[in-house]
Amino acid sequence: MITTFGDRLSAAMAARGPLCVGVDPHPALLTAWGLSDDLAGLRSFAATCVTALAGEVALLKPQSALFEAHGSGGVAVLERLIADARAAGTLVLVDAKRGDIGSTMTAYARAYLTEGSPLAGDAVTLSPYLGFGSLEPALEIARATGRGVFVLARTSNPEGASVQDALVSDEKGTRSVAQRVVDAAAQLNVGAPRLGDVGLVVGGNLPSLKLDLSGLNGPVLAPGFGAQGGTVADLRRLFGPALPGVLPTSSRDVLRHGPDVAALRQAVRGLRAELASAPAGG
């Protein structure tokens, strides 16, 4: 029997705390690490991140676009990072934000969710803004392979509000576009004994949540924590009773301590301790 992504993530969060670290090789960060902004620098950066962070966090989140920017060689580095991190026992969320329709969505799903694909981690980020139903090929393959998805709902960027907070009326009443995404994900997680396999992306630095997450029964990835202004107090304020299922994600606040492996690990451990001080509240 396949172990579900939700079960694996629950175990990782219990063992290592609810922290996701983004592996984001921005050109300025490569320079700050004393690396060249080319394939050699990218390889060194990725290898150092795996060495320092695998086994320290619940989830590693490589940003696919920053590897793709280096062409086919960069994609190969991403593939190696995914393989090495998973071999070290760390769950990998590939931050690709894919979203399309029909056969194209199926092709994306095969790339990021099919067993044996070199780009397949444990989960992938998806965009539902061609309609939540357009994600069904990815949802089907994820179910079959024991993988997960994180669907963009209310994102941390200020531009997202113009679409995601828009109100839409249907037979279920008037809800925001983001709440419709939440409710669709919740339907797919009904009956999951721990965490469901369909997670959401909800900003951890929002002025207010404006979402009902009480029925989600799945994980929430919370970008915006750390360098984008989100704090532990914000997490508790925004998510309240849902906080045990929330994975704050940090990249710059951790990666600025590189390339020193010990300093990177210490930064992660400090964040984990900080998060442990924020129990769920109302």
**Cα four-point dihedral sign 11, 221, 66, 117:** positive
CATH of the domain at 25: 3.20.20.70
Residue-wise pLDDT for 61-78, tens only, equals 999 999 999 999 999 999
User: pLDDT band for position 172 (50/70/90)?
Assistant: confident
124's enclosing H/E stretch is strand 123-126
Residue-wise pLDDT for 26-49, tens only, equals 999 999 999 999 999 999 999 999
Amino acid letter for position 241: P
* Residue 176 predicted with pLDDT over 80: yes
Number of domains in the chain: 1
Tokens of 12: 């990782």
Query: Which domain range does residue 98 map to?
Result: 5-276
Instruction: Identify which of 251, 249, 253 has the alpha carbon closest to the alpha carbon of residue 219.
Output: 249
Tokens of 204: 């951890």
Indicate the burial class of 207 (C-beta count within 10 angstroms; 0-12, 13-18, 19 or more).
exposed
Is position 39 within any domain? yes
CB-CB neighbours of 140 under 10 Å: 13
Q: What SS3 state is found at 36?
A: coil
Tokens of 212: 């009902």
Residue-wise pLDDT for 232-248, tens only, equals 889 999 999 999 999 99
* Residue 280 predicted with pLDDT over 60: no
Q: What's this model's pTM, rounded to 2 decimal places?
A: 0.96
Is position 206 within any domain? yes
Is position 171 within any domain? yes
User: pLDDT band for position 278 (50/70/90)?
Assistant: low
Is position 196 within any domain? yes
Is position 112 within any domain? yes
Question: What Rg value do the Cα atoms of the chain yield, rounded?
Answer: 18
> For 8, which DSSP code?
H
> For 155, which DSSP code?
-
Is position 282 within any domain? no
Is position 281 within any domain? no
Active site residues: 97
* pLDDT mean over 186-203: 95
* pLDDT mean over 106-131: 98
Is position 44 within any domain? yes
Check: CB of residue 222 under 8 Å from CB of residue 203: yes
Q: How far apart are CA 148 and CA 5, in angstroms?
A: 5
C-alpha torsion angle, residues 268, 274, 278, 279 (rounded to 10): 60
* Residue 220 predicted with pLDDT over 70: yes
User: pLDDT band for position 282 (50/70/90)?
Assistant: very low
As a whole number of Å, the end-to-end CA separation of the chain is: 37
Mean pLDDT estimate for the chain: 95
Among 133-147, 149-163, 223-237, whose mean pLDDT is lowest? 223-237
